[in-house]
Amino acid sequence: MSTQPIAIIGAGLQGLTTALALQQRGEVVRVLERAEGTALETSYANAGMLTPSQVDPWNSPGVGRHLLQSIGRDQSAMLLRLGALPSLMGWGLSFLRHSTPNRHRQATRRAFALARHSIELTAQIREKLGIDYDASTHGTLKVFRSDRAFAASIATAEFLGREGMIFEALDADGVIDTEPQLAEVARELVGGLRFPDDECGDAHLFCRRIAAEVEERGGRIDCGVDVRGLECRGGRVTGLHLEGELVDASRIVVAAGSWSVELLRSAGLRLPVRPAKGYSLTLDAKGIPNTPRIAVVDDTLHTAIVPLGDRLRIAGTAEFAGFDKRVRAPRIRNLSDLLQRVYPSVAARADLGSANAWAGLRPMSSDGLPFIGPTRIGGLFVNSGHGHLGWTMAMGSADLLADLMVGKPTAIDPSPYLAQRAL
Ligand SMILES: Cc1cc2nc3c(=O)[nH]c(=O)nc-3n(C[C@H](O)[C@H](O)[C@H](O)COP(=O)(O)OP(=O)(O)OC[C@H]3O[C@@H](n4cnc5c(N)ncnc54)[C@H](O)[C@@H]3O)c2cc1C
């Protein structure tokens, strides 16, 4: 075993869990993070859901038409901004190529295997370290306003049921029995699906605790350090370009979310990942009676309302807008409108004006699966491209990558997620 630290670029969900997984296998790690703290980018205020039940990639059959229709429509749950089109060309074609029914089903099954492994490891580390991240283990309730959408989701659930996912189909009365607070909107609902094994919790709190554990184990986490590029010689990675200096490194993990693309480009590699912007609105729910007890996904509005301790988070929507992280008022309005449509009396009592509005960039792969493992450049590894499932898949992805790096057998078959399919 080498004693030179493994350099990990990025201190989000993937970078931090990778650091811990490598330490657990006896490696020494150094995490380099551009921001002033850990998990301040996409892992900061995501929806917080650990959902093996929602693993179907977003390029479902028909997605192309859907995206074209969304151009210029701020109300669309999935929105394509014209300005982002040039940066999406090659990636977009691959995204569409993977949206055939067969490919989509195959990616869904593969994503489920990783998500299920990951959620088990998340529960184990929560117990082992006694991490409090406002976790809830009540599952997810997905509600439907149209028979067609309900039937399509039942078909997906039945498909994943054959892979071991547990779910329960509910009529409108069953939905209200599960979440009585939805009684106000019962007339609009045609039914729901309950996924009892899903969990939720605050990913940022989780990351902070994992970062503390990495440091307690002797790992170094350097924030405020911008990695400008990778140095490679003779088919191997040899170092990192920081501001004004070149630092030697013979093993590097790129776990820089959407920004992994530019780092890998500096080594001549093209990672098919593009940012898909999403929004969240987090409000203080202390003192509001009858707040939701279970994470609720509204299928029509493609958005989730998630209880996080004393807070409530409304999150969702996808916008292809390049690296523009501006929080746009109409998109945030969509989230508060959703709260109004699902929990009118909570919305009436909530102080939405002081709620925390946030936007983050999901690193979306074009084939719906993350990129994990070695690249064709010796010593250079990747853990990125988890899209809407980066929290759900974090612990499992880190586990796979760490085993691949130290040459141990992996807990599940890594082949569908291997980075070498693109790099
Ligand atoms: C609105 C929204 C809701 C979501 N909801 C869920 C959900 O409910 N469940 C779920 O599973 N997933 C969800 N996700 C997705 C999930 O949040 C992401 O997949 C995950 O956070 C990605 O983690 P990451 O570590 O790959 O990237 P990031 O968290 O973005 O971390 C990458 C880090 O790398 C750093 N970095 C980048 N470039 C450099 C550089 N050159 N030098 C040094 N550091 C660098 C960045 O500063 C950043 O801290 C959601 C995302 C959004 C936007």
**pLDDT tens digits for 232-264?**
999 999 999 999 899 999 999 999 999 999 999
pLDDT of residue 74: 67
pLDDT tens digits for range 150-165: 999 999 999 999 999 9
The residue to mutate among 17, 32, 42, 53, having the most atoms of ligand 1 within 8 angstroms of its beta carbon, is: 42
CA–CA separation, 348 and 384 (whole Å): 40
The mean pLDDT value for 257-278 works out to 96
Quickly state the pLDDT bin for 319 (edges 50, 70, 90). Answer: confident
pTM given for the model: 0.95
Q: Which residue has tokens 């089109």?
A: 85
Mean pLDDT of the residues in the chain: 93
Which atom of ligand 1 lies nearest, measured to the CA of 279?
Answer: 1
Ramachandran region of residue 329, left (φ > 0), alpha (ψ -120 to 50) or beta?
A: alpha
What residue ranges line ligand 1, CB within 6 angstroms? 9-15, 32-35, 40-43, 46-49, 226-227, 255-257, 259, 263, 278-280, 315, 360, 362-363, 384, 386-392
The mean pLDDT value for 262-280 works out to 96
Quickly state the pLDDT bin for 413 (edges 50, 70, 90). Answer: very high
Q: Report whether pLDDT(310) > 90.
A: yes
Name which residue sits closest to atom 12 of ligand 1, judged by CA. 389
Q: Which residues pair with 183 in a beta bridge?
A: none
pLDDT of residue 293: 83
The mean pLDDT value for 393-415 works out to 98
**Ligand 1 center to residue 239 CA distance, Å?**
24
Which atom of ligand 1 lies nearest, measured to the CA of 258?
Answer: 30
Quickly state the pLDDT bin for 299 (edges 50, 70, 90). Answer: confident
CA–CA separation, 222 and 180 (whole Å): 47
> Number of C-alpha atoms within 13 angstroms, CB side, residue 157?
21
The residue to mutate among 388, 389, 393, having the most atoms of ligand 1 within 8 angstroms of its beta carbon, is: 388
Which atom of ligand 1 lies nearest, measured to the CA of 262?
Answer: 41
Say what percent of the chain tops pLDDT 70.
96
pLDDT of residue 313: 97
Looking at per-residue pLDDT, the higher value among 82 and 244 belongs to: 244
Token pair, residue 141, equals 């309730």
**Ligand 1 center to residue 124 CA distance, Å?**
22
Which atom of ligand 1 lies nearest, measured to the CA of 317?
Answer: 1
Which atom of ligand 1 lies nearest, measured to the CA of 276?
Answer: 53
Quickly state the pLDDT bin for 54 (edges 50, 70, 90). Answer: very high
Name which residue sits closest to atom 21 of ligand 1, judged by CA. 43
Q: Report whether pLDDT(318) > 90.
A: no
CA–CA separation, 237 and 229 (whole Å): 11
Quickly state the pLDDT bin for 2 (edges 50, 70, 90). Answer: low
CA–CA separation, 410 and 257 (whole Å): 23
**Ligand 1 center to residue 291 CA distance, Å?**
28
Task: Report the range of poorest mean pLDDT among 40-54, 107-121, 190-204, 314-328.
Answer: 314-328
**Ligand 1 center to residue 371 CA distance, Å?**
14
**Ligand 1 center to residue 170 CA distance, Å?**
33
**Ligand 1 center to residue 382 CA distance, Å?**
14
pLDDT tens digits for range 96-117: 899 899 999 999 999 999 999 9
**Ligand 1 center to residue 303 CA distance, Å?**
18
Task: Report the range of poorest mean pLDDT among 17-31, 84-98, 196-210, 400-414.
Answer: 84-98
3 class by beta-carbon count within 10 Å (0-12 exposed, 13-18 middle, 19+ buried):
exposed
Name which residue sits closest to atom 24 of ligand 1, judged by CA. 257
Q: Report whether pLDDT(77) > 70.
A: no
**Ligand 1 center to residue 243 CA distance, Å?**
23
* Closest C-alpha among 97, 48, 31, 55 to residue 387: 55
Q: Report whether pLDDT(222) > 90.
A: yes
Task: Report the range of poorest mean pLDDT among 18-32, 218-232, 335-349.
Answer: 335-349
3-state secondary structure the chain: CCCCCEEEECCCHHHHHHHHHHHHCCCCEEEEECCCCCCCCCCCCCCCEECHHHCCCCCCCCHHHHHHHHCCCCCCCEEECHHHHHHHHHHHHHHHHCCCHHHHHHHHHHHHHHHHHHHHHHHHHHHHHCCCCCCECCCEEEEECCHHHHHHHHHHHHHHHCCCCCCEEECHHHHHHHCHHHHHHHHHCCEEEEECCCEECCHHHHHHHHHHHHHHCCCEEEECCCCCEEEEECCEEEEEEECCEEEECCCEEECCHHHHHHHHHCCCCCCCEEEEEEEEEEEECCCCCCCCCCEEEECCCCEEEEEECCEEEEEEEEEEECECCCCCHHHHHHHHHHHHHHCHHHHHHCCHHHCEEEEEEEEEECCCCCEEEECCCECEEEEECEHHHCCCCHHHHHHHHHHHHHCCCCCCCCHHHEHHHCC
* Furthest CA-CA distance within the chain: 66
Q: Report whether pLDDT(55) > 90.
A: yes
